[in-house]
Amino acid sequence: MSRTARKLLLKIAFYVLVIFIIIYAVFPFYWAINSSLKSGTALFSADFLPPDPAWDNYAAVFRGQPFALNILNSVYVSTVTVVVSLFLAVTAAYALGRIRFRGRGLLLMVVLGVSMFPQIAVLSGLYEIMRAIGLYETLYSLMISYMIFTLPFTVWILTTFMRELPKELEEAAIVDGATPWQTITKVFMPLMGPALATTGLLAFIGAWNEFLFALTFVGGDSELMTIPVAITNFSGASEFESPWGDIMAASVIVTVPLIVLVLIFQRKIVSGLTAGAVKG
Amino acid sequence: MVADVAVPRQHGASKLTRQRTRSAWIFIAPMLIVLALVAGYPLLSTMYYSLTDRLLIADHDTQFIGFSNYLYYGPDLDNYDEEFDGYFVDLIEQDAFLIYRDDGNFYDLDNVDPDTGDLALYEGEVSTSDVFEWHGVLVDSLWWRSVWNTVTFSVISVGLEIIIGMFVALVLNANLPGRAVIRAAVLIPWAIPTIVSAQMWSWMLNDQYGVINEILLSWGWIDARLAFTADRLLSLPSVIAVDVWKTTPFMALLILAALQLLPGEVYEAAKVDGVHPVRQFFKITLPLIRPALMVAVIFRSLDALRIFDLIYVLTPGSRDSMSMSIWARQNLIDFQNVGYGSALSTSLFLIIACFTAVYLVLGRVSFDQER
Amino acid sequence: MATVKLENVTKSFGELQIIKGVDLDINDNEFVVFVGPSGCGKSTLLRLIAGLEDITSGDLSIDGAVVNDLPPSERGIAMVFQSYALYPHMTVYENMAFGLKLAKESRESVEGKVREAARILQLEHLLDRKPKEMSGGQRQRVAIGRAIVRNPKVFLFDEPLSNLDAALRVQMRIEIAKLHHDLDATMVYVTHDQVEAMTLADKIVVLHGGIVEQVGSPLELYHHPRNQFVAGFIGSPKMNFIETAVTAVDGDGVSVSLPGGENIKVPVDGSDVQVGDKVTYGVRPEHMIEVGDADAHIDGEVFVVERLGGDTYAYVRAEGADMITVQTSGDSHVGVGDKLKIGVSAVTSHLFKSDGAALKLNARNPMADARKGGMLDTAPGPKADPH
């Protein structure tokens, strides 16, 4: 085979691979959209385009259960969790990232360890605590328990971002007479806007997706459920038949905003993820 | 000059250092307190509950029972009889029903002592090996099955994620037109919440109307529709497939980031030396991104070892794909057995802790690098 | 008045001792330059004075008061960083005002000081700019301005010019010299560039491996290096060193043999050496002279020629010496392969014992004690009012 022919063949194989990757990544989501637009028996056909697109399933999502409320619950819980985490994490990240003191390495290990915690390991403890202080079956129980993963995560990522700020900038502030608190608020915070946004977004996604605590703490009350619990709880006409059209419609509803956010922030998200991992 | 031995003055940390160290602890304190409350205290209580016979039922008195939840030789603790304050034992060979009490004696259920009005001691010979058994997490076949499932799942899915993720990362790293589109497409599975992707896939894998069955049938790869999520042999592979789909993007992005940090000169030098691309990958690329890969692997492995939501939704109730977290939660919440469920949770925690420790030591991963 | 005094100052990072006991007096209004190869501890020493690092042992006094335990902002110092370290989100005005605002000065006072500094540095038209909208030289000036507004007793410069390109570096060097003259302030300046050190300093401190090798005026270091390290470090191209041995010692000097067999009698104090001792003979490339005026000769062969226009450097291989650098005029016709007879003069020669210490020259070079070049007092330009 001639050199150019072989090159061409390689190129074709490469693009086939690329197309395969794209289809593999996108098809399930496409299929969810496709199914969500099929109503009635069309749902059970394997047509690759809805023969008669309709919004019936979308309407049914909000009729069958308090799904709007579920969305609000998720937004409320995730927002509060992220804001509190960021607030606590910024100062901690400054200390861990920029101040040398004994025990820092150990603290970083603890933070990383907690973020890697199997959540089931604290479930029974948290469950009893929530019942004892009367927060069981309230959204506060979620805000508190979500701290277990959002807080270490934000601390860890912000610590790596903090370390990347030039050392001389902080020394200039010290020579100018700034206290550590002033250094954070007047010098570092204004520079960390993008980092805070990225970290906040990633933590938000984590809280938004959480299932185990939500299922356990508010799984019994459809008005308190967050989206993931609500979506697993959709009931159809009969007990043995899942309302797949509704489920797909709900899936599309909660996924589209996330995909849009992720695509807008994709560069920043990649940098955030790698700040947490690659440079570990 | 007067001979005077000058002793250099030793100083402790200066005011600046002391001020900064103090600030560091003040800044860290709120985070530590919150972590102690939401992670430390619940973890310790879980560990404590694992040493008790606590139940979710409100009026049950919790008792400290040591390590009995983990390993215990004796009567079945589920057969506790409140009326007779002991454990019911069916001695089949001698056709007798007995009560075993904490004093270590067997009492005859059919024989009441006239003096005390209580059950009388059983007069026959009881061989404990006939009535006692080993109980607890360590001999719980369902627990070990869930361990096996979880480890199999973790090893295979993380392995596949690395391989596929590497391919995707190499494609993304190649300078081809439309790279942004591919990267955006690859990010979509990552952006979809796990529960949602589990639902999407359980619809696609549906045994009657699922599109996967439809496609495989039309291609002639299978003769009859498969029950992917319910079949004994297919449920775990199904879970693995969905997890790989969902988390490979994360892996690919991490590897891509590592690839992009590699110095271009190395590749130019290799090109000048005429190194074959495949050899170049194994001899240059792989060793250089190994540290990043190690970190990505541990992150993903720890994530995989605690898997709950995907399995809970995709294959509900299946024992063939049950993970450690699922079995622990089932005991904890569904069976309302806090003590035993906590023992399972603690075991899971210890397994993960050991795995992490071994990995950190072997991988020599350091977390306090000054850069 | 601002003097700085270091007494037996050491600094260790864990087991590693970076500064191994430094004694130093810096006088009022003096321009002191710390110079040395990378890793010699010069930046660490500056940071100890600034208070950015803790002193492990010893005392640091500013204006007679021990300041070991004072934080940087209370030491009366100001620092100009290598990377400028301007706050990127603040304008030039805010950058300069930041420290004053933190010290809770009144708005009028802040405004007055910032405007005055901006005037001195010709930054008035840039006050509303952000750092990223300015050139390197302008940023450097803002960094200096931020130091000036603090009205410090001591200015500290940490390699402030190393991020600038060559042309700008010369210009800023001149501006710093002028600023020192105008402000009449004590300045401590760290650099690895010996041209900066020679041109700016009243007093050079040569550091090597955490110890002070020599302190003195630029020309004192040039003409009377105390040891082989300083001799090699100060001067460009580097001084030539030739391993040799003592052939004779008397009251007028020490004779050594040169490559090619000739002897030269160097007028140094020979009370420390004996015939047969191994010594190193040193002579600077620019002190190679015409054969006729020379006290001795070295024969060699040219193997590389570098023509810089004004000067020509010829690299010569001689018997017993791998490489001897000879500086000649730009119009010299010397070429590769030429046999060269190099003339050396006794008065510009140096001798070093095997431990590196220099043998003391009998006569002191008149230039060694000359006043610093500096600038006319009548030079035009504003004079900053310290208050």
How does pLDDT run across B125-154, given as a tens digit for each residue? Answer: 777 777 788 888 888 889 999 999 999 999
Q: A5 to chain B, minimum CA–CA distance in Å? A: 18
Q: Which residues of A touch B174 (CB under 8 A)?
A: 14
Q: Which residue has the tokens 């791998």?
A: C322
Of A80-89, A172-181, B224-233, C258-267, the range with the highest mean pLDDT is A80-89
B199/A247 touch (CB, cutoff 8 Å), yes or no: yes
CB C123, CB C138: distance < 8 Å? yes
Per-residue burial over A159-182, b = 16 or more CB atoms within 10 Å of its CB, e = otherwise: bbbbbebeebbbbbbbbbbbbbee
Amino acid B207: pLDDT: 85
Characterize the bridge pairing of strands C296-307 and C311-318: antiparallel
How does pLDDT run across B19-74, given as a tens digit for each residue? Answer: 888 889 999 999 999 999 999 999 999 999 999 888 877 667 778 888 888 888 87
**Which of C51, C57, C71 is facing B9, going by the closest CB pair?**
C57
Q: Say how many CB pairs under 8 Å bridge A and C.
A: 55
Q: Does C71 touch chain B (CB under 8 A)?
A: yes
SS3 C78: strand
CB C75, CB A175: distance < 8 Å? no
Least CA distance to C50: which residue of chain A? A175
Q: Which residues of B touch A263 (CB under 8 A)?
A: 184, 187, 191
Angle at B295 between CA B291 and CA B299, to 5 degrees: 165
Position A277 confidence tier, pLDDT thresholds 50, 70, 90? low
A172/C79 touch (CB, cutoff 8 Å), yes or no: yes
Residue B42: which region, alpha, beta or left (left: phi > 0; alpha: psi -120 to 50)? alpha
**Which of C85, C88, C103 is facing A171, going by the closest CB pair?**
C85
**pLDDT at residue B357 above 90?**
no
Position B6 confidence tier, pLDDT thresholds 50, 70, 90? very low
- Find residue B80's DSSP bridge partners: B87
Q: C45 to chain A, minimum CA–CA distance in Å? A: 15
Q: Does A263 touch chain B (CB under 8 A)?
A: yes
- Find residue C240's DSSP bridge partners: C283
Average pLDDT, integer, range A73-96: 95
B10/C57 touch (CB, cutoff 8 Å), yes or no: yes
User: Amino acid identity, residue B81?
Assistant: D
Q: B16 to chain C, minimum CA–CA distance in Å? A: 5
More confident residue, A196 or B11: A196
Per-residue burial over B71-107, b = 16 or more CB atoms within 10 Å of its CB, e = otherwise: ebebbbbeeeeeebebbbbebeeeebebbbeeeeebb
CB C12, CB C44: distance < 8 Å? no
Q: Which residues of A touch C73 (CB under 8 A)?
A: 174-178
C85/A168 touch (CB, cutoff 8 Å), yes or no: yes
Cα distances from B100 to residues B60, B154, C305, in angstroms, run 20, 43, 105
Show the DSSP H helices in C184-227 as ranges: 194-200, 218-223
Amino acid A241: pLDDT: 67
- Find residue B64's DSSP bridge partners: B52
**Which of C52, C82, C98 is facing A176, going by the closest CB pair?**
C98
Mutate to test the interface with C, among A165, A176, A188 (most CBs of C within 10 A): A176
CB C10, CB C57: distance < 8 Å? yes
Position B185 confidence tier, pLDDT thresholds 50, 70, 90? confident
A177/C99 touch (CB, cutoff 8 Å), yes or no: yes
C52/A171 touch (CB, cutoff 8 Å), yes or no: yes
CB C148, CB C79: distance < 8 Å? no
Amino acid A280: pLDDT: 34
Q: A65 to chain B, minimum CA–CA distance in Å? A: 17
Q: Does C61 touch chain B (CB under 8 A)?
A: no
Beta-carbon contacts of residue A97 (< 8 Å; ≥ 6 apart): A158, A159, A160, A161, A162, A163
CB A242, CB B209: distance < 8 Å? no
B11/C56 touch (CB, cutoff 8 Å), yes or no: yes
**Which of C79, C87, C99 is facing A169, going by the closest CB pair?**
C87
SS3 C13: strand
How does pLDDT run across A129-158, given as a tens digit for each residue? Answer: 998 899 999 999 999 999 999 999 999 889
CB C381, CB C180: distance < 8 Å? no
Q: C55 to chain B, minimum CA–CA distance in Å? A: 7
Percent of chain B with pLDDT over 90: 29
Per-residue pLDDT of chain C (387 residues; tens, 9 = 90+): 589 999 999 999 888 899 998 999 999 999 999 999 988 889 999 999 999 988 989 999 999 899 888 888 888 899 999 888 899 999 999 999 999 999 899 999 999 999 999 998 889 999 999 998 998 889 989 999 999 998 899 999 999 888 888 888 888 899 899 889 888 889 999 998 888 999 999 999 999 999 999 999 999 999 999 999 999 999 888 999 999 999 999 888 999 998 888 889 999 998 888 898 999 999 999 998 877 778 888 888 999 999 998 899 999 998 878 889 999 888 888 889 888 888 999 989 999 999 999 998 888 887 877 766 555 544 444 444 444
The span from the CA of B271 to the CA of C253, in Å, is 63
CB C11, CB C59: distance < 8 Å? no
Q: Does A259 touch chain B (CB under 8 A)?
A: yes
Q: Does C70 touch chain B (CB under 8 A)?
A: yes
C52/A174 touch (CB, cutoff 8 Å), yes or no: yes
Amino acid C11: pLDDT: 92
Least CA distance to B13: which residue of chain C? C54
Phi and psi dihedrals of C239, rounded to 5?
-60, 145
Q: Which residues of A touch C67 (CB under 8 A)?
A: none
Least CA distance to C55: which residue of chain B? B11
**Which of A172, A182, A190 is facing C81, going by the closest CB pair?**
A172
Q: B180 to chain A, minimum CA–CA distance in Å? A: 10
Per-residue burial over C254-286, b = 16 or more CB atoms within 10 Å of its CB, e = otherwise: bbbbbbbeeebbbbbbbeebeeebebbbbbbbb
**Which of B38, B49, B306 is facing A124, going by the closest CB pair?**
B49
Q: C21 to chain B, minimum CA–CA distance in Å? A: 9
The pair of structure tokens assigned to B86 is 């002991």
Q: Which residues of C touch B17 (CB under 8 A)?
A: 54
Average predicted confidence (pLDDT) for chain B: 84
A18/B182 touch (CB, cutoff 8 Å), yes or no: yes
CB A252, CB B231: distance < 8 Å? no
Q: Say how many CB pairs under 8 Å bridge B and C.
A: 35
User: Amino acid identity, residue B172?
Assistant: L
How does pLDDT run across A80-89, given as a tens digit for each residue? Answer: 999 999 999 9
B14/C54 touch (CB, cutoff 8 Å), yes or no: yes
A175/C73 touch (CB, cutoff 8 Å), yes or no: yes
Mutate to test the interface with B, among C66, C69, C74 (most CBs of B within 10 A): C69
CB under 8 A, 24+ apart: contacts of A45-51: A46/B209, A46/B211, A46/B214, A46/B215
C69/B14 touch (CB, cutoff 8 Å), yes or no: yes
A120/B250 touch (CB, cutoff 8 Å), yes or no: no
CA dihedral sign of residues B187, B188, B191, B192:
negative
Beta-carbon contacts of residue A142 (< 8 Å; ≥ 6 apart): A77, A81, A210, A213, A214, A217, A218, A226
How does pLDDT run across A47-66, given as a tens digit for each residue? Answer: 778 777 888 888 888 887 89
Q: C77 to chain B, minimum CA–CA distance in Å? A: 15
Which residue, C52, C70, C67, C121, is CA-closest to C92?
Answer: C121
B371/A273 touch (CB, cutoff 8 Å), yes or no: no
Strands annotated E in chain C: 4-13, 16-26, 31-35, 57-62, 65-66, 77-80, 154-158, 186-191, 203-208, 211-216, 240-250, 253-257, 263-266, 278-283, 296-307, 311-318, 321-329, 339-344, 349-353
Subunits with 3+ C-beta pairs closer than 8 A to A: B, C
Average pLDDT, integer, range B305-332: 91
Q: Which residue has the tokens 């509190």?
A: A84
Amino acid B258: pLDDT: 84
**pLDDT at residue B262 above 90?**
no
Q: Specify the DSSP class assigned to residue B320.
A: S
CA dihedral sign of residues A155, A160, A162, A167:
positive
CB B189, CB B196: distance < 8 Å? no
Q: B293 to chain C, minimum CA–CA distance in Å? A: 32
The pair of structure tokens assigned to A83 is 């804001």
The packing angle between helices C107-120 and C136-149, to 10°, is: 130
Q: A194 to chain B, minimum CA–CA distance in Å? A: 19
A125/B313 touch (CB, cutoff 8 Å), yes or no: no
